[in-house]
Structure 1
Amino acid sequence: MDDIDLQILELLKSNGRMTSSEISKIVHLSVPSITERIRKLENNGVIDQFTVKLNRKAIGQTLLVYIFVQLHGSVETQHFRTTIIQSPLVLECHHISGEYDYLLKVGLPDLSVLEGFITHTLKANHDIVRSNTVFILSTLKEE
C-alpha cells in the first residue's frame, strides 16, 4: 500500500458510497486506476466489506453499554459464543484477556430492556461468574 491507497481508504471510510469518479478528482488519478486500486484492496483483504453505519438513536437504541462477562469454565464457551452473537442487541462481542472473558457492546432502547437482557439472555442461559456493565454517556469517536 502506498500513500494513494491510504488516501482512498480514508475517503471510503468517511463515505463508503463515494464513487471512483469522485475519488479520482480528489487524488488526481484516472477513474480506471482508482477502480483497480479499490479492487486490489478488496482482493488483498484490506477492504473487508462495504457497510452502512446506522444512527442508533434513530432506530431506537438510545442506550449503549459495554458488558464485561466472566464465564464459569471453558465448557460454557461455545454455547455462550453461539447464542450471544445471535442477539440483535449485541453490536460487538470480543474475547478478551484479563479477569473477564468477553466484552459485549450492546445497544438498547431503555433500562428495562437492559435488565431483561442481563437477566434472561445472559444470566438465565449461561453459567456466568460475574459481569460488569458500563454505561456510555457520550461518544467522541467511533469507527
Structure 2
Amino acid sequence: MDDTDTQLLRLMQRNADTSHAELGRQVGLSATGVHKRLKRLRESGVIKRTTVVLDRAKLGLDLMCFLKVNFKNNLASPNPDELHEALRTLPEVLECYTLTGTNDAIVKVAVRDHVALREFLRRFSEAQGIIDRVETCIVLEELRDGNDYAVRADE
C-alpha cells in the first residue's frame, strides 16, 4: 500500500458512496485509476466488504447495551460452532468478541427498549447453554461511533 491507497481507504471509510471520479479528484487519479486500486484492495482482502450504516435511533432501536459474559468453564474457550450458532439466531447482536481478562466475551446489542432487552436476555440465556453469568451495561451516551481504522501506508 502506498500513500494514495491510504488516502483512498480513509475517504472510503468516511463515505463508500463517493464516486470514483470524486475520489480521483481528491487523490489526483482518474476514475479508472481509482477503480483499479479499489479492485486490487478488494482482491487482496484489505477491503472486506462495502456496507450501509443505518441510523439506529430512526429504526427505533433506542437502547444500546454491552453484555459482559462469563462462560461456565472459564478455563477453556467455548465451542466456537456452538457460540456462532447461538449468536446467529439473535438479530439484536451487533458484535461479539472473546476476551482476555475477567470476562470471557463482550457482546454489543441494540434493542427497542427495556422490555425488548429483558426478552432478548431471556432468549440469549436460553440459546447459550455455555453461559454462567452476564452483566448488562446500558449505554448512556455515544461519544464516538464507527469503525474507522487508522490507515497508514507501508513504511
Please give the TM-score of this superposition, normalised by the length of structure 1: 0.91
Where relative contact order (Cα < 8 A, 6+ residues apart) is larger, the structure is 2
Q: CA RMSD in A?
A: 1.6
CA shift, 1:128, in A, is 2.2
Percent identity, please: 29
CA shift, 1:3, in A, is 1.1
| Structure 2 residues without counterparts, runs of 5 or longer | 147-155
Aligned to 2:124: 122
Aligned to 2:63: 63
Q: Give 1:138's match in structure 2, choosing from 135, 138, 141.
A: 141
Alignment of 1:1-143 (within 5 A): 1-73=1-73, 77=79, 78-118=81-121, 120-125=122-127, 126-143=129-146
Aligned to 2:153: none
Equivalent residue pairs, number: 142
Please give the TM-score of this superposition, normalised by the length of structure 2: 0.84
Quote the Cα distance in structure 2 between the aligned partners of 1:23 and 1:55.
Answer: 25
Matching residue's letter, 1:122: F
Report the 3-state secondary structure (helix = DSSP H, G, I; strand = E; otherwise coil) of the residue aligned with 1:133: strand
Quote the Cα distance in structure 1 between the aligned partners of 2:40 and 2:82.
Answer: 38
4+ runs deviating over 4 angstroms: none
Matching residue's letter, 2:109: V
| Structure 1 residues without counterparts, runs of 5 or longer | none
CA shift, 1:75, in A, is 8.6
Matching residue's letter, 1:89: E
> Please, which moves more after superposition, 85-94 or 69-78?
69-78
Report the 3-state secondary structure (helix = DSSP H, G, I; strand = E; otherwise coil) of the residue aligned with 2:140: coil
Cα distance 1:28–1:59, how it changes in 2: closer, same or farther (>3 A)?
same
